[in-house]
Protein backbone atom coordinates (compact mmCIF):
# COMPACT_ATOMS: atom_id res chain seq x y z
CA UNK A 1 0.00 0.00 0.00
CA UNK A 2 2.08 2.92 -1.26
CA UNK A 3 5.78 3.26 -0.94
CA UNK A 4 6.65 6.16 1.32
CA UNK A 5 10.41 5.63 1.34
CA UNK A 6 12.12 9.02 1.63
CA UNK A 7 8.87 10.84 2.39
CA UNK A 8 8.50 12.96 5.50
CA UNK A 9 5.14 12.56 7.23
CA UNK A 10 3.91 14.63 10.19
CA UNK A 11 1.12 13.19 12.36
CA UNK A 12 -0.49 15.41 14.99
CA UNK A 13 -1.83 13.60 18.03
CA UNK A 14 0.35 10.79 16.72
CA UNK A 15 1.09 9.08 20.02
CA UNK A 16 -2.24 7.46 20.86
CA UNK A 17 -5.44 6.17 19.28
CA UNK A 18 -6.00 6.88 15.59
CA UNK A 19 -2.81 8.95 15.51
CA UNK A 20 -0.77 6.03 16.78
CA UNK A 21 -2.22 3.85 14.02
CA UNK A 22 -1.31 6.56 11.50
CA UNK A 23 2.25 6.91 12.82
CA UNK A 24 2.75 3.13 12.74
CA UNK A 25 1.16 2.78 9.30
CA UNK A 26 3.27 5.47 7.64
CA UNK A 27 6.47 4.30 9.39
CA UNK A 28 5.88 0.73 8.20
CA UNK A 29 5.30 2.08 4.68
CA UNK A 30 8.82 3.54 4.77
CA UNK A 31 8.12 7.17 5.74
CA UNK A 32 10.16 9.24 8.16
CA UNK A 33 7.52 10.11 10.72
CA UNK A 34 7.34 13.12 13.03
CA UNK A 35 4.91 12.42 15.87
CA UNK A 36 3.52 15.65 17.32
CA UNK A 37 1.85 15.26 20.69
CA UNK A 38 1.44 16.54 24.24
CA UNK A 39 1.55 13.05 25.78
CA UNK A 40 5.26 12.72 26.48
CA UNK A 41 5.21 9.16 27.82
CA UNK A 42 3.17 7.68 24.97
CA UNK A 43 5.06 9.62 22.28
CA UNK A 44 8.41 8.57 23.68
CA UNK A 45 7.37 4.93 24.02
CA UNK A 46 5.99 4.77 20.46
CA UNK A 47 9.07 6.45 18.99
CA UNK A 48 11.38 4.02 20.78
CA UNK A 49 9.31 1.04 19.63
CA UNK A 50 9.30 2.22 16.00
CA UNK A 51 13.06 2.82 16.08
CA UNK A 52 13.72 -0.57 17.72
CA UNK A 53 11.73 -2.13 14.87
CA UNK A 54 14.00 -0.40 12.34
CA UNK A 55 11.66 2.42 11.31
CA UNK A 56 12.43 6.15 11.15
CA UNK A 57 10.60 8.36 13.65
CA UNK A 58 11.02 11.28 15.99
CA UNK A 59 8.57 13.02 18.28
CA UNK A 60 8.01 16.66 19.14
CA UNK A 61 6.24 17.97 22.22
CA UNK A 62 3.78 20.54 20.89
CA UNK A 63 0.27 21.75 21.61
CA UNK A 64 -0.90 22.12 18.03
CA UNK A 65 -3.51 24.73 18.95
CA UNK A 66 -0.65 27.18 19.66
CA UNK A 67 1.00 28.88 16.70
CA UNK A 68 4.53 28.82 18.13
CA UNK A 69 4.26 25.09 18.93
CA UNK A 70 2.84 24.26 15.50
CA UNK A 71 5.63 26.17 13.77
CA UNK A 72 8.28 24.48 15.91
CA UNK A 73 6.84 21.05 15.09
CA UNK A 74 7.11 21.71 11.36
CA UNK A 75 10.59 23.24 11.72
CA UNK A 76 11.66 20.10 13.54
CA UNK A 77 10.31 17.82 10.78
CA UNK A 78 12.17 19.89 8.17
CA UNK A 79 15.39 19.85 10.21
CA UNK A 80 15.27 16.09 10.72
CA UNK A 81 13.93 14.88 7.38
CA UNK A 82 14.49 17.72 4.90
CA UNK A 83 10.88 18.88 4.54
CA UNK A 84 7.27 17.82 4.82
CA UNK A 85 5.50 15.71 2.17
CA UNK A 86 2.41 14.63 4.09
CA UNK A 87 0.70 16.34 7.01
CA UNK A 88 -1.98 14.43 8.89
CA UNK A 89 -4.01 16.79 11.06
CA UNK A 90 -5.37 14.23 13.48
CA UNK A 91 -5.17 15.67 17.02
CA UNK A 92 -8.64 16.27 18.39
CA UNK A 93 -10.46 16.38 21.70
CA UNK A 94 -13.96 15.70 22.96
CA UNK A 95 -13.44 16.13 26.70
CA UNK A 96 -15.65 14.45 29.26
CA UNK A 97 -17.92 17.17 30.59
CA UNK A 98 -18.16 18.82 27.18
CA UNK A 99 -21.55 17.21 26.48
CA UNK A 100 -23.66 20.34 26.90
CA UNK A 101 -25.89 22.59 24.83
CA UNK A 102 -24.75 26.05 23.73
CA UNK A 103 -26.23 27.71 26.82
CA UNK A 104 -24.16 25.56 29.12
CA UNK A 105 -20.98 25.58 27.02
CA UNK A 106 -18.34 27.92 28.42
CA UNK A 107 -16.28 30.28 26.31
CA UNK A 108 -13.14 28.46 27.50
CA UNK A 109 -14.59 25.06 26.58
CA UNK A 110 -15.66 26.27 23.16
CA UNK A 111 -12.26 27.88 22.47
CA UNK A 112 -10.33 24.79 23.59
CA UNK A 113 -12.27 22.39 21.36
CA UNK A 114 -12.24 24.71 18.34
CA UNK A 115 -8.57 25.43 19.04
CA UNK A 116 -7.41 21.81 18.96
CA UNK A 117 -9.92 20.41 16.46
CA UNK A 118 -10.00 23.22 13.89
CA UNK A 119 -7.52 26.06 14.47
CA UNK A 120 -4.67 23.56 14.77
CA UNK A 121 -5.45 22.19 11.29
CA UNK A 122 -5.08 25.74 9.96
CA UNK A 123 -1.87 26.41 11.90
CA UNK A 124 -0.11 23.16 11.00
CA UNK A 125 -1.09 23.58 7.33
CA UNK A 126 0.07 27.19 7.32
CA UNK A 127 3.57 26.18 8.39
CA UNK A 128 3.80 22.91 6.41
CA UNK A 129 2.62 24.10 2.99
CA UNK A 130 5.72 26.20 2.14
CA UNK A 131 7.85 23.07 2.51
CA UNK A 132 5.43 21.03 0.37
CA UNK A 133 5.66 23.75 -2.28
CA UNK A 134 9.48 23.60 -2.22
CA UNK A 135 9.31 19.82 -2.69
CA UNK A 136 6.97 20.12 -5.67
CA UNK A 137 3.78 19.05 -3.91
CA UNK A 138 2.29 17.30 -0.93
CA UNK A 139 -0.82 16.00 0.77
CA UNK A 140 -2.76 17.31 3.77
CA UNK A 141 -5.10 14.79 5.37
CA UNK A 142 -7.56 16.24 7.85
CA UNK A 143 -9.17 13.85 10.30
CA UNK A 144 -12.73 15.14 10.69
CA UNK A 145 -15.64 12.94 11.81
CA UNK A 146 -19.00 11.61 10.75
CA UNK A 147 -20.13 14.37 13.13
CA UNK A 148 -18.97 16.86 10.50
CA UNK A 149 -21.84 15.60 8.34
CA UNK A 150 -24.55 14.84 10.88
CA UNK A 151 -24.82 15.68 14.55
CA UNK A 152 -25.69 14.08 17.85
CA UNK A 153 -27.18 16.11 20.71
CA UNK A 154 -25.04 18.17 23.10
CA UNK A 155 -21.82 18.53 21.13
CA UNK A 156 -22.01 22.09 19.71
CA UNK A 157 -18.29 22.85 19.71
CA UNK A 158 -17.24 19.39 18.52
CA UNK A 159 -19.85 19.35 15.74
CA UNK A 160 -18.90 22.88 14.64
CA UNK A 161 -15.20 22.02 14.68
CA UNK A 162 -15.69 18.94 12.49
CA UNK A 163 -17.99 20.73 10.05
CA UNK A 164 -15.36 23.47 9.91
CA UNK A 165 -12.64 20.93 9.11
CA UNK A 166 -14.62 19.65 6.11
CA UNK A 167 -15.15 23.20 4.89
CA UNK A 168 -11.48 24.07 5.38
CA UNK A 169 -10.56 20.93 3.44
CA UNK A 170 -12.58 22.06 0.42
CA UNK A 171 -11.17 25.58 0.57
CA UNK A 172 -7.53 24.52 0.87
CA UNK A 173 -7.97 21.97 -1.93
CA UNK A 174 -8.98 24.80 -4.27
CA UNK A 175 -6.27 27.18 -3.10
CA UNK A 176 -3.43 24.68 -3.59
CA UNK A 177 -4.54 22.31 -6.37
CA UNK A 178 -2.44 24.13 -8.97
CA UNK A 179 0.65 23.58 -6.83
CA UNK A 180 0.18 19.81 -6.66
CA UNK A 181 -0.84 19.98 -3.00
CA UNK A 182 -3.89 17.83 -2.36
CA UNK A 183 -6.14 18.28 0.68
CA UNK A 184 -8.54 15.53 1.75
CA UNK A 185 -10.47 14.55 4.86
CA UNK A 186 -11.35 11.29 6.57
CA UNK A 187 -14.51 10.92 8.63
CA UNK A 188 -14.04 8.06 11.07
CA UNK A 189 -17.02 6.25 12.56
CA UNK A 190 -16.51 4.96 16.09
CA UNK A 191 -12.88 3.83 16.41
CA UNK A 192 -11.48 1.91 19.39
CA UNK A 193 -9.18 4.53 20.93
CA UNK A 194 -8.47 5.98 24.39
CA UNK A 195 -10.97 8.77 23.58
CA UNK A 196 -13.77 6.26 23.02
CA UNK A 197 -12.68 3.98 25.89
CA UNK A 198 -12.74 6.97 28.29
CA UNK A 199 -16.29 7.80 27.23
CA UNK A 200 -17.41 4.16 27.54
CA UNK A 201 -15.79 3.80 30.96
CA UNK A 202 -17.53 6.94 32.24
CA UNK A 203 -20.89 5.76 30.91
CA UNK A 204 -20.85 2.25 32.40
CA UNK A 205 -19.45 -1.12 31.36
CA UNK A 206 -16.58 -0.26 29.04
CA UNK A 207 -16.37 -3.41 26.90
CA UNK A 208 -20.15 -3.89 26.69
CA UNK A 209 -20.65 -0.31 25.54
CA UNK A 210 -17.90 -0.48 22.91
CA UNK A 211 -19.51 -3.68 21.59
CA UNK A 212 -22.93 -2.01 21.64
CA UNK A 213 -21.56 1.00 19.73
CA UNK A 214 -20.05 -1.44 17.25
CA UNK A 215 -23.52 -2.86 16.68
CA UNK A 216 -24.70 0.56 15.51
CA UNK A 217 -22.34 0.23 12.54
CA UNK A 218 -23.75 -1.98 9.72
CA UNK A 219 -20.44 -3.88 9.55
CA UNK A 220 -21.09 -4.87 13.17
CA UNK A 221 -18.01 -3.63 14.95
CA UNK A 222 -16.20 -0.44 15.89
CA UNK A 223 -13.21 0.41 13.72
CA UNK A 224 -9.55 0.08 14.61
CA UNK A 225 -6.90 2.81 14.18
CA UNK A 226 -5.40 0.68 11.39
CA UNK A 227 -8.67 1.07 9.42
CA UNK A 228 -8.07 4.83 9.35
CA UNK A 229 -4.35 4.41 8.66
CA UNK A 230 -5.06 2.19 5.63
CA UNK A 231 -7.38 4.84 4.16
CA UNK A 232 -4.82 7.58 4.88
CA UNK A 233 -2.04 5.58 3.19
CA UNK A 234 -4.14 5.34 0.05
CA UNK A 235 -5.18 9.01 0.09
CA UNK A 236 -1.57 10.13 0.60
CA UNK A 237 -0.29 7.86 -2.18
CA UNK A 238 0.19 8.62 -5.85
CA UNK A 239 -2.72 6.26 -6.60
CA UNK A 240 -4.97 9.01 -5.21
CA UNK A 241 -3.39 11.78 -7.33
CA UNK A 242 -6.76 12.88 -8.79
CA UNK A 243 -8.52 13.08 -5.40
CA UNK A 244 -8.66 16.43 -3.64
CA UNK A 245 -11.24 18.50 -1.75
CA UNK A 246 -13.09 15.28 -0.92
CA UNK A 247 -13.88 13.42 2.28
CA UNK A 248 -14.01 9.68 2.86
CA UNK A 249 -16.17 8.09 5.56
CA UNK A 250 -14.38 5.15 7.14
CA UNK A 251 -17.29 4.12 9.29
CA UNK A 252 -18.45 0.57 8.65
CA UNK A 253 -21.47 1.90 6.75
CA UNK A 254 -22.64 4.16 9.56
CA UNK A 255 -23.36 7.17 7.33
CA UNK A 256 -25.16 5.03 4.75
CA UNK A 257 -28.02 4.55 7.21
CA UNK A 258 -31.11 6.74 7.38
CA UNK A 259 -33.16 7.60 10.44
CA UNK A 260 -35.24 4.50 9.63
CA UNK A 261 -32.15 2.26 9.89
CA UNK A 262 -33.56 -0.05 12.58
CA UNK A 263 -36.77 -0.75 10.64
CA UNK A 264 -36.94 -3.62 8.16
CA UNK A 265 -39.04 -3.69 5.01
CA UNK A 266 -41.96 -6.14 4.85
Residues lying near ligand NAD in the complex (CB under 6 A): 12-13, 15-19, 36-39, 42, 63-65, 90-93, 116-117, 143, 145, 188, 190-191, 193-196
Angstrom distance (rounded) from CA 129 to CA 166: 18
Nearest alpha-carbon partner for 184 in 169, 172, 167: 169
**Least Cβ distance, residue 244 to ligand NAD (angstroms):** 20
**Least Cβ distance, residue 102 to ligand NAD (angstroms):** 19
**Least Cβ distance, residue 40 to ligand NAD (angstroms):** 9
Does the annotation count 81 as an active-site position? Answer: no
Instruction: Report helix, strand and coil shares of the chain as percent, to nearest 5.
Output: 50, 15, 35
Which residue lies nearest ligand NAD, judged by its C-beta? Answer: 92
Angstrom distance (rounded) from CA 178 to CA 181: 7
**Least Cβ distance, residue 190 to ligand NAD (angstroms):** 4
Closer residue to ligand NAD in complex, CB, 69/85? 69
Closer residue to ligand NAD in complex, CB, 16/47? 16
> To which H or E segment does residue 158 belong?
helix 156-176
Q: Which residues pair with 58 in a beta bridge?
A: 34
Closer residue to ligand NAD in complex, CB, 152/239? 152
| CA 206 to mean position of chain CA atoms | 23
Residue 83 DSSP one-character state: S
Closer residue to ligand NAD in complex, CB, 3/49? 49
Nearest alpha-carbon partner for 88 in 135, 37, 149: 37
Nearest alpha-carbon partner for 147 in 219, 207, 196: 196
Q: Of 81, 127, 158, 176, which residue is the catalytic one? A: 158
Angstrom distance (rounded) from CA 223 to CA 37: 22
Catalytic residue set: 158
Amino acid sequence: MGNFNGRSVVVTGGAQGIGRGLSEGFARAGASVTIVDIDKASANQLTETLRDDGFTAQWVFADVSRAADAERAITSAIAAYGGVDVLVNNAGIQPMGSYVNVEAETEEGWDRIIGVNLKAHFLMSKYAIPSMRERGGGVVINIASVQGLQSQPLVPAYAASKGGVLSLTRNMALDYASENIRVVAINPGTIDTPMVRTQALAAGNEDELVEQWGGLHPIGRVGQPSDIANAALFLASDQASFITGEHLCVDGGFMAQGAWASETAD
